[in-house]
Structure 1
């Protein structure tokens, strides 16, 4: 079973990428957020891989930039009604740490923003992920009658999160906003100021 790929990024499509590892080309299906954060073709890329096998399609590889993203994908697939496309869609709108926060808050609406995820499936995802560990994040269950905010103070908003929110306020689709902010942070660095990230994000979007 393939768990990791390291090689030269050959091409990036709408839903997958091709990585050349020692002369063998591997096609990995990825979410839009992952595809938007890949290096330029010709550069080295590293993907953490979730492998699947089916009788009709044979082997399928799903690629992620971090182990936490792969772990979250695996946990989502274990939920009834969540297939690979829906799991990738959830991670496109909610990276692992944000998904953990939504589960802890029982924020079904946040999960339901993902394509292919309706209110009933969002409720099932929130319910079944409670108490599941995810790297540094944790899908913490909420005790009856106790708000998560009362037990622990929420983390301060990140520059990336605030920049995405600003772009959403301009009517930009969430997947595109996250991709633009990710690219802006790659260019400017994680310590960049919010205003600079927003400007760079708009430049990425051609606005």
Structure 2
């Protein structure tokens, strides 16, 4: 229903913010990760990516500093036993990158250390999300799955793509996707850049 909300910051707390949009105050629940990334002061404009969550007894807005965090939140909620509040707790306990790495590396011990996440839920998250996270969120897995000889090539390609006008995050994501698809085969820098531009 909502993709994002941009409004004047009225209130900012570690658990929520209130944004005023043309006289309407939106109460939006947030993670500590998003709280730390909100740069606006009261009275200044702030944008958050949002998810409108409908339950039998409540309609809630959840806000995120980035689309990646929102996507990870929705991914976590797809796991049986992880509701919206637990997903938000997980994103408060770890950064999106740390959480994704824990899932991909099957670190059940770290996941179950989060309040509200038991061993069974942590194991389900790993089983159900490991491959999905690798495929959908390569930007949160720096160097994961890329062999050592590629690292210098990766850095040079990213620098070239940034010079060509790509945002750094997009450049890194595209280069990683191309390198993973090679499965160890050699590739010239020029060809890597060309393929990354067409991902």
Identify the TM-score tier after normalising by the shorter chain: 0.5 to 0.7
Aligned length: 145
Distance change (3 Å), C-alpha of 1:153 and 1:106 = farther
Runs of 4+ in 1 over 4 A off after TM superposition: none
Structure 1 residue runs of 5 or longer lacking an equivalent are: 140-147, 157-207
Structure 1 pair 81–119 and aligned structure 2 pair: CA distance change class (3 A)? same
User: 2: CA distance between counterparts of 1:118 and 1:61?
Assistant: 25
**Does residue 55 of the first structure (1) align with residue 38 of the second (2)?**
no
1:79-118 equivalent positions in 2, closer than 5 A = 79-118=79-118
What's the CA shift for 1:88?
0.8
- Shift, 1:152, TM fit: 3.5
Structure-2 change in CA distance of 1:16 and 1:80 (3 Å): same
Q: How does 1:136-147 map to 2 (within 5 A)?
A: 136-137=138-139
Deviations 1:25-67 (A, max 9, x none): 111111122223322211211100011112321x211000000
Q: Which has the higher helix share?
A: 2
Tell me the CA shift for residue 115 of structure 1.
1.4
Q: Which has the larger radius of gyration?
A: 2
The structure showing larger relative contact order (alpha-carbon pairs under 8 Å, at least 6 residues apart) is: 1
3-state SS, counterpart of residue 100 of structure 2: helix
